[in-house]
Amino acid sequence: MSSGYDLAVDRRPSAPPNTHGHVHSEESIRRIVNRLSRIEGHIRGIKTMVQEERPCPDVLVQVAAIKGALDRVARAILDEHLSECIKRAVTDGDIEVEIEALKAALDRFLR
């Protein structure tokens, strides 16, 4: 992923190698991917609302719901990063590199 979060690793044989240095649990990946799939469906629903010329306030309420859902995905990814990636970096002695990567990712995310 270009965002710096390598959580959603593609497990297909043709997928590029994981460049994150370790693999997250299948359960963590499944939870994140499921949330993103629900958001994807919600976005398709909003697209339909716009095409059907539904009232703007109704559309905006749904957009706000998606923004909240994306924020929750980001928090889940951050939680996973702190509990797994940072913990691993401390053990491996790579904490400074991992902290700098986290700072850069947070800077992009918070813009």
Q: Give the mean model confidence (pLDDT) for residues 97-103.
A: 88
Q: How far apart are CA 47 and CA 50, in angstroms?
A: 5
Number of separate domains in the chain: 1
Residue 43, pLDDT score = 98
Residue 29 host element (H or E): helix 26-51
Domain assignment of residue 97, yes or no: yes
Residue range(s) defining the domain that contains residue 69: 26-109
pLDDT greater than 70 at residue 78? yes
Q: Give the mean model confidence (pLDDT) for residues 8-17.
A: 48
Are 55 and 64 in contact by the 8 Å Cβ rule? The answer is no
Question: Residue 39 maps to which CATH number?
Answer: 1.20.58.1000
Domain assignment of residue 33, yes or no: yes
Domain assignment of residue 11, yes or no: no
Q: Give the mean model confidence (pLDDT) for residues 15-34.
A: 76
Domain assignment of residue 19, yes or no: no
pLDDT greater than 70 at residue 13? no
- At 10, the pLDDT band (50, 70, 90 cuts) reads very low
- CB-based contacts of 84: which residues, under 8 Å, 6+ apart? 22, 24, 28
Distances (CA, A) of 45 to 32, 37, 38, 73: 20, 12, 11, 19
- At 92, the pLDDT band (50, 70, 90 cuts) reads confident
Q: Which of 16-20, 25-29, 62-66, 100-104 has the least mean pLDDT?
A: 16-20
Domain assignment of residue 20, yes or no: no
The model's pLDDT over 30-77, given as tens digits with 9 standing for 90+, comes to 999 999 999 999 999 999 999 999 999 999 999 999 999 999 999 998
Domain assignment of residue 9, yes or no: no
Q: What is the pTM of this model?
A: 0.70
